[in-house]
Amino acid sequence: MRIYLIKFIAILVLLTSCGQLNRGKSTHQSLTKKERDEQALNEFVDSPKEVKPKIVQPFKNKAKVSKFCKKTALFFKKYRWKKSNCEKTHWKNVRNSNSGDPLIWTVFGDESKVGERGVESTLIFCGVHGDEITPIKFCFDIIQHLTKEVAENPGILKGKLVAIAPIVNPDSFMKKRPTRTNKNSVDINRNFPTKDWNKDALKLWKSRYRRDKRRYPGKKSLSEPEVVFQVNLIKRYKPRKIISVHAPLTMLDYDGPIDHHTGGIVGTRANQLLIQMSKKARGYRIKNYPFFPGSLGNYAGNERNIPTYTLELPTSNPRKSDKYWTLFRPAIHSAIMHDMRKEIDVAVKPASSKATTAN
C-alpha cells in the first residue's frame, strides 16, 4: 500500500511540473519577438549593482600638532586676536623646534605638480623672529583668506601652489616675553648656509654688531632646526618666489637675481611685482636693503636666484594686526596670483634707498 502511495505522489509531481512548463511555453509563445528578446537579455545580464558614494574621511592632524594648536589659541587669546582656526587647518609637520614644538606648514594646491613647468609656487614665512608679533597673525590671516577664496572659487589656484609656515620660530614667540632669537639664542635669519657664512658671519657680528646677542649667527651655519625647516621647504616646493613677513621697519625689500633687479630699472618681472605690491598697499615704501651672511635674502634670493620679498609691517603692536591685514591683503593676494613669467604694466616706481641694517 505504501509503495502505491509513493508512486501516486511522484505522478502528481511530474504532472504539475509539466503543467508549469507548458504554461511557461504558452506564455513565452504569446509574447512578441521584441518582448521575448528583452526577456532573454534580462535572464543573462546582471542587474547593475548599487554604487555607494565614496566617503571622504576628514583630515586629522597629528596629536602633537593638535596640542600645538591649542597652545597657539592661548596666545591668540592673550593678544586679543580672533580665532586662528588652527585646529581646522590641515597642517604638515616633519621636524620640531629645540623645545619640541612642531614646525608646521600648510599647502594650497596640488603638491604632485611641484616642479612642473607652468606651476607657480609661492612660499610664505612668518614668525621668524618671535618678538615680531604682528607677522604671525598676518600669516594666519593669509591662510583664512585663501581657505575662503578656494571654497568660493575652487579653480582660483589652478596652476598655482602656496605653502605657508606661520610660526617658523615658535620657541621665541611662545613665551612670556618673546625674543628675536630661538631657544639656543641664535638669530635664525643669520644662520642660513650662505657661501660667505664661514668667512664673514661671526666676524661681522663681532665688529659691526659688537656681539649683539639678538643677532648672534650661531657657531656654525645650518645649526638650528628652524633654519633646516626653511631650507627643506625651499628644496621641496621649488618656489618661484618667497615672501617673508617681518616687523617693524615699514618697508618692502627685494633680494633676487640681478637680471630681475637691475639697479631699480623698471621692466623686469620680479621688480615689477615689488612695485605692484607697493601700489596695492597705498604706496608702501620700497627700500633696497643689503643682504647679510646667513640671511634668507642672501641664501634664496642672491645665491639661488629665487625672487625673495620681505614685507616689514609698520609695528609689532598686536592691536594693529587687523589694520595691517586690511592694508596689505590686496598686495599679498596679488603676489600669490602673479605669474613670474608674465609682465605687469607699471608706470612708476617709488624711490628706493640704501640702509645699513636689515631683518
Centre a 10 Å sphere on the Cβ of residue 266 and count the other Cβ atoms it contains: 12
Position 250 scores a pLDDT of 96
∠ CA 105-108-109, rounded to 5°: 135
Q: What percent of the chain has pLDDT over 70?
A: 76
Collapsing DSSP states into helix, strand and coil, what is residue 104? Answer: strand
Give the per-residue pLDDT at 349.
Answer: 35
The C-alpha atoms of residue 283 and residue 348 are separated, in whole angstroms, by: 11
All structural domains of the chain: 63-337 (3.40.630.10)
Nearest to 163 by CA among 94, 216, 68: 94
| Lowest pLDDT segment from 21-25, 27-31, 161-165, 340-344 | 21-25
Give the span between the Cα atoms of 297 and 301, in whole angstroms. Answer: 5
Contact 312, 240 (CB under 8 A): no
The pLDDT value recorded for residue 86 is 98
- The mean-pLDDT minimum among 180-184, 229-233, 268-272, 301-305 falls in 268-272
Q: Please write the tens of the pLDDT for every residue from 22-56.
A: 444 444 455 666 566 555 545 444 444 554 544 44
Mean pLDDT of 242-246: 98
For position 262, what pLDDT does the model report? 43
> How many other CB atoms are there within 10 angstroms of residue 120's CB atom?
20
Give residue 153's pLDDT: 95
pTM of the full structure: 0.80
Is residue 129 within 8 A of residue 359, CB to CB? The reply is: yes
212 pLDDT tier (thresholds 50, 70, 90): very high
| Contact of 128 with 189, CB cutoff 8 Å | yes
Which pLDDT belongs to residue 172? 98
